[in-house]
Structure 1
Amino acid sequence: MGSELYDTSRNEVIWGLANSRWLTRAWLTRSGLDSLRLTSGELAGDHGRVSARGLLQAPTWSPFFKGFEPYHKLLGTIENTVAHPSAILTFPYDWRLPVSSHAQALAAAARAHLTRWRSHPAQIAARAHAVDGREARLVFIAHSMGGLVTYAALNRGGDHDLADDTRGVMTLGTPFQGSVVAANILNALQGAPLPLPHNRLATAAATMPGVHDLLPRFLCLEDGPTVRHLTPADIGDLGGDKELFATSQKFFGDLFHQPLPQHRPVAGIGQETVQSLQLHAGVVRASEYCFREDSNGELKRDKHGRPLRYPVKGDGTVHRVSASLVRRAMPIHAQHGALASGKQARRAVADFLLEDDHLGPDQADEGLGLNVPDYVHPQTPWDLIITGTDDAAGIECSVSAVDGNYIRPARVQADGDDRLRATLTVPDTGLYRVTVRSEHSHTLTQLVFAGPDGTTYLDE
Structure 2
Amino acid sequence: MFDDRTRDACVVVPGIMGSVLEDATGHPLWGVDLAMLTRPSDGEGFLGALHANGQEQAADADTARRDPVTRIRATALLDTPWWLPVFEGLDPYSDVHKTLTGAALAPDAVASFPYDWRLAISYNGALLARAARAHLTRWRERVAARSEWRAAGEQRPRLLFAAHSMGGLVVRAALKQDPELAADTRTVITVGTPFLGSAKAVLALNLLNATTRPRWLLQRVQEMAATLPGVHDLLPGYRCLDRGLDGERLTAADVARFGGDADLAAHSLQEHACHRDRPFVIPGHRAIVGEAQSTVQTLEEQHSAGRAVAAGRYHAFDVGEGGELLRDPATGIPARRNTYGDGTVHTPSAQAGTQAITYVFGHHGTLMRHDEVLRQIRGIALERPPSVHLGGDGTGAGPGLEVPSLGGSFGKPLPLTVTGLTTLAGATLSVRSATTGRAGHPLTLRPSPDRTDGALSARFTADAPDLYRVTLKTRMYPPISQLVLVSPPNA
Give the direction of change, closer, same or farther, for the CA distance of 1:394–1:274 in structure 2 (3 Å limit): same
Does residue 150 in structure 1 map to residue 150 in structure 2?
A: no
SS at match of 1:109: helix
In structure 1, C-alpha distance between the alignment counterparts of 2:29 and 2:157, rounded to whole Å: 37
SS at match of 2:368: coil
Does residue 2 in structure 1 map to residue 24 in structure 2?
A: no
Give the direction of change, closer, same or farther, for the CA distance of 1:27–1:198 in structure 2 (3 Å limit): farther
Partner of residue 262, structure 1: 284
* Residue 379 of structure 1, aligned match among 401, 405, 411: 411
Answer yes or no: is the 8 Å Cα contact 2:363–2:480 preserved in 1.
yes
Does residue 409 in structure 1 map to residue 447 in structure 2?
A: no
Answer yes or no: is the 8 Å Cα contact 1:4–1:16 preserved in 2.
yes
Does residue 72 in structure 1 map to residue 104 in structure 2?
A: no
Answer yes or no: is the 8 Å Cα contact 1:107–1:153 preserved in 2.
yes
Aligned positions of 1:37-186 closer than 5 A: 37-45=51-59, 47-121=69-143, 125-130=148-153, 133-156=154-177, 159-186=178-205
In structure 2, C-alpha distance between the alignment counterparts of 1:138 and 1:43, rounded to whole Å: 30
Partner of residue 292, structure 1: 318
In structure 1, C-alpha distance between the alignment counterparts of 2:20 and 2:368, rounded to whole Å: 17
Query: Which residue type is aligned with residue 382 of structure 1?
Result: L
Q: 1:363: how far off?
A: 7.3
Partner of residue 211, structure 2: 193
Answer yes or no: is the 8 Å Cα contact 2:81–2:435 preserved in 1.
no
Give the direction of change, closer, same or farther, for the CA distance of 1:360–1:347 in structure 2 (3 Å limit): closer
SS at match of 1:326: coil
In structure 1, C-alpha distance between the alignment counterparts of 2:147 and 2:212, rounded to whole Å: 57
In structure 1, C-alpha distance between the alignment counterparts of 2:199 and 2:322, rounded to whole Å: 25
SS at match of 2:231: helix
Q: 1:310: how far off?
A: 1.1
Answer yes or no: is the 8 Å Cα contact 2:235–2:268 preserved in 1.
no
In structure 2, C-alpha distance between the alignment counterparts of 1:107 and 1:218, rounded to whole Å: 27
Query: Which residue type is aligned with residue 311 of structure 1?
Result: N
Of all paired residues, the percent bearing the same amino acid is 38
In structure 1, C-alpha distance between the alignment counterparts of 2:434 and 2:86, rounded to whole Å: 19
Give the direction of change, closer, same or farther, for the CA distance of 1:111–1:29 in structure 2 (3 Å limit): closer
In structure 2, C-alpha distance between the alignment counterparts of 1:359 and 1:376, rounded to whole Å: 40
Answer yes or no: is the 8 Å Cα contact 2:205–2:259 preserved in 1.
yes
Give the direction of change, closer, same or farther, for the CA distance of 1:376–1:172 in structure 2 (3 Å limit): same
| Structure 2 unmatched ranges of 5 or more | 1-16, 60-67
Q: 1:298: how far off?
A: 3.0
Partner of residue 14, structure 1: 29
Aligned positions of 1:208-227 closer than 5 A: 208-227=228-247
Answer yes or no: is the 8 Å Cα contact 1:4–1:92 preserved in 2.
yes
TM (norm. structure 2) is 0.86
Q: 1:386: how far off?
A: 0.6
Moved more, 318-327 or 106-115: 318-327
Partner of residue 467, structure 2: 431
TM (norm. structure 1) is 0.92
* Residue 365 of structure 2, aligned match among 337, 340, 349: 337
Partner of residue 379, structure 2: 351
Query: Which residue type is aligned with residue 24 of structure 1?
Result: T
In structure 2, C-alpha distance between the alignment counterparts of 1:92 and 1:255, rounded to whole Å: 25
Give the direction of change, closer, same or farther, for the CA distance of 1:362–1:429 in structure 2 (3 Å limit): closer
Q: 1:325: how far off?
A: 2.2
Q: 1:32: how far off?
A: 4.1
SS at match of 1:210: helix
| Structure 1 unmatched ranges of 5 or more | none
In structure 2, C-alpha distance between the alignment counterparts of 1:89 and 1:44, rounded to whole Å: 28
Corresponding pairs, count: 447
Answer yes or no: is the 8 Å Cα contact 1:219–1:291 preserved in 2.
yes
Moved more, 78-87 or 313-322: 78-87
In structure 2, C-alpha distance between the alignment counterparts of 1:264 and 1:229, rounded to whole Å: 27
Give the direction of change, closer, same or farther, for the CA distance of 1:127–1:367 in structure 2 (3 Å limit): farther
Does residue 440 in structure 1 map to residue 476 in structure 2?
A: yes
Query: Which residue type is aligned with residue 319 of structure 2?
Result: E
Q: 1:123: how far off?
A: 6.7
* Residue 325 of structure 1, aligned match among 331, 334, 352: 352
